[in-house]
Structure 1
């Protein structure tokens, strides 16, 4: 008792280093991460913003150095989201049920721009949108460069949907496939689509993000669901007949309203089994859609022209998709294969369990497996292994040179390809040149098959 009392009062410590050992966290992966830190609360989202890791929690946001994990700053906030790319990233924060937001520098937390009127914000890799209303039926949508101080354009819309408050409220597009132990925002902010569909009072207003023009103001039919994907307005019809649902998809030119393509028989999983009522957006990503063909095989469609980009083999299951590749679980459930959209060519195959999850990001394909629990990151193009961890942690964010994993309040950074190298772009034989890191893949052009995501 005397020993315990003396140690507790600080008079004498008979066990040097004991309290440091008690407080020290167990490593969350094997091999160990570059750094591991305990954050203030359980993360709601984690984003790599340039050289900073941004951690959104329930009532605060904090930023940590990507190199060391050291906390750089902390702010009270009810929501936070990252916008911009690797070189012009910002952090947008706000409070629930309070108008306005702040745009922060991710390295310092300093306020770059403040807004006191916006009711909603949408964050993208190359743009930030906000909405403000002077009356219930008199609203504007404004577009900003991530670090801009004046709007690029402003569009007038007759109100916003009830409940559009905070960051990234839902628009009419696609929803991502879920993956166990991989956060749905692991890829970070996406490039802004060429068109956005704003649901307002039972109608859909289609907005051109290059010019700010409202191209369409459409009311869906009784059996229709509207979605905006790949530069087209999709009218998805689900009709109940003979105890089954019959589907038809019409891709419309947003400027003229004319039909650009049409397909029947592909189930985009927008309807439930009760009377074919469509309550969900279709699955997909960027400019592509995921559906089920009449022969029960999963298929990937181009939202721009309706082309069938991939039809899975019987028994194969789509795990992840972007506008370049699809990751599928093989029919025997023993492996995950990468298939190139448009050609169907197998790019690579890796052994994986029957319950493995997967996600595609610009810099890496991430696989989560169990028995044993593992996280693996590979080059999306070649399947070359970038990181392999024995861990029960989740994949939270992927950046150009590594990824953040986390379990509870513990987060850690994993560098791709091992030790750091001087900045440089990957060239033949792994020799770095300007702009990247040796052995680390750079993101491919993701402009879509018709460059509809890039060309104005």
Structure 2
């Protein structure tokens, strides 16, 4: 008996494949992207699962929220992904990148190594908003972009821009900005952030521009007013001194070696007048190493506050503006994160972390955490990274309410108003905070593209979250 004359299994499969190819080529129906995404997707990097998870081309160097986009910096390229679903919006070759501005007023600044200039890109489209062909360095904040042009090693011009502006806010002349091509955000004389396990140091994104900046140039410190662009003073440190510009003051930090130990003293000065405004002795700001009290590090802290160690070994938080002790920890306690609002303090028994309000020592909340837990404070969330078991927890910094709790070994890479980005290797994912609804936070009150101030008139766009050196611009409703 002859075999059946039907197409058979192979024939039907071939016919089906031909049909799918024809439909895909004519644009009627294309299942391949979805199938490839399903095949390529790795195991979820957290439990519960993230809103979206994507594998990128390389291990990210930094991740930053920028309005409706997430900007991912890699070794030789930068890309942006849509916040809502993680799809790629654009990609550019770049050796360095940084985000300036905040929320929907953010921009992406990119450049190449050993090449002067930079481009300012729209984070959603990747389109070039402004181009510079001569700058040797760029600094980025939430409400300011600063670049440096040098016609000679000792003849440089600093130019301030609104992040989305096209006309300079002000210019200032300085005798150099160190040497060579410096790229994005070269070191200034300010505070040094605390290290945290499994928490990226750029977690919070760009900060508000400080009232004063300290530029180290040829062994002197040039102090610049960011509101007007005026260079207030240039000072040479003494042999036993280190200078820092924090909280609107020029700090002279002295470490003197005597009797086999280091003796510390801090003096805060008004750069405009040179007058001493406060002084404090005996507080070790951890600027010196163990070899002859030589100071090679910036003091630890954040924004307008400093972290020091009192003579009795207790850690303390100081106001950089007036030298007040904003917080003194108990014996055995350790400060693990700080900004100009709160401090996260690990208990002496290393079983919990407490959030305390600076200036009042009010306990905002307490959370169980292991001895090796990493911690960080951002505008929108306090983040704890614990192990055994491995977890990431995001909390409301004001009241301690849980915004997200994840069982994961991933790192916390970025925090925004609606959620955070976590990552493990080449995998990144978006976690939405509890109660968050939109893709981005509220639009700044001025709305739209801010017009730039006329050149030479000064003025810096206000940062919505900047409280000022003494938190004079912020009010706590609970305190009336």
Instruction: Give the alignment's TM-score, normalised by structure 1.
Output: 0.90
Partners of 1:197 and 1:390 in 2: CA distance: 42
Render the CA deviation track for 1:384-409: whole Å, top value 9, x for unaligned: 00000000000000000100000111
Alpha-carbon offset, residue 40 of structure 1: 1.4
Alignment partner, residue 364 of structure 1: 381
| Aligned residues of 1:196 and 1:208 also touching (Cα < 8 A) | yes
Deviation at 1:449, TM superposition (A): 2.1
Q: List gaps (5 residues or longer) in structure 2.
A: 1-9, 18-31, 448-463, 475-480
1:197-208 to structure 2, matched below 5 A, reads 197-208=214-225
Alignment-derived partner of residue 468 in structure 2: 447
In 2, Cα distance between equivalents of 1:246 and 1:202: 23
Contact 1:395 1:403 in 2 (8 A): yes
Shift of 1:21: 5.8
The aligned residue for residue 331 of structure 2 is 314
Matches within 5 A, 1:221-370: 221-370=238-387
CA contact (8 A) 1:60 1:75 kept: yes
Matches of 1:165 and 1:93, distance apart in 2: 13
For residues 413-424 of structure 1, what are the structure 2 equivalents within 5 Å? 413-417=430-434, 420=437
Q: 1:126 to 1:210 in 2, by over 3 A?
A: same
Select the residue among 66, 86, 97 that pairs with 1:69.
86
Question: TM-score under structure 2 normalisation?
Answer: 0.86
CA RMSD of aligned residues (A): 2.3
Equivalent residues in 2 for 1:157-236, closer than 5 Å: 157-163=174-180, 165-236=182-253
Give the direction of change, closer, same or farther, for the CA distance of 1:212–1:19 in structure 2 (3 Å limit): closer
Q: How many residues align?
A: 428
User: C-alpha displacement at 1:149, in angstroms?
Assistant: 0.5
2:28 corresponds to which residue? none
Q: 2:122 aligns with which of 99, 102, 105?
A: 105
| 1:186-214 CA-partner distances (Å, limit 9, x unpaired) | 00000000000000000000000000000
1:372–1:390 contact (8 Å) kept in structure 2: yes
Judging changes above 3 Å, is the alpha-carbon distance between structure 1 residues 135 and 386 closer, same or farther for their aligned structure 2 residues? Answer: same
Q: Which has the larger radius of gyration?
A: 2
CA drift of 1:169 comes to: 0.4
Structure 1 runs (4+) greater than 4 angstroms displaced: 10-13, 16-22, 421-425
Go from structure 1 to structure 2 and tell me whether the alpha carbon gap of 1:23 and 1:416 turns closer, same or farther (over 3 Å shift).
same
CA distance in structure 2 between the partners assigned to 1:102 and 1:139 by the alignment: 20
Answer yes or no: is the 8 Å Cα contact 2:89–2:125 preserved in 1: yes
Aligned in 2, Cα 1:422/1:210: closer, same or farther, shift over 3 Å? closer
Measure the CA separation in 2 of the matches of 1:286 and 1:342.
15
Q: Distance in 2 between matches of 1:384 and 1:448?
A: 28
**Partner of 1:430 in structure 2?**
none
Matched, 1:35 2:52: yes
In the alignment, structure 1 residue 26 sits paired with structure 2 residue 43: yes
Contact 2:41 2:54 in 1 (8 A): no
Deviation of 1:159 (Å): 1.1
Cα distance in 1 for residues equivalent to 2:363 and 2:181? 42
1:378 alignment counterpart: 395
Give CA deviations for 1:353-401 in whole Å, capped at 9, x if unaligned: 1111100000000000000000000000000000000000000000001
- Cα deviation, 1:122-157, whole Å, max 9, x if unaligned, reads 000000000000111110011000011111000000
Distance (whole Å) between structure 2 residues aligned to residue 101 and residue 47 of structure 1: 18
Deviations 1:334-356 (A, max 9, x none): 10000110011111000111111
The structure showing larger relative contact order (alpha-carbon pairs under 8 Å, at least 6 residues apart) is 2
Q: Is the 8 A contact 1:230 1:452 kept in 2?
A: no
Distance 1:267 1:423, change over 3 A: closer
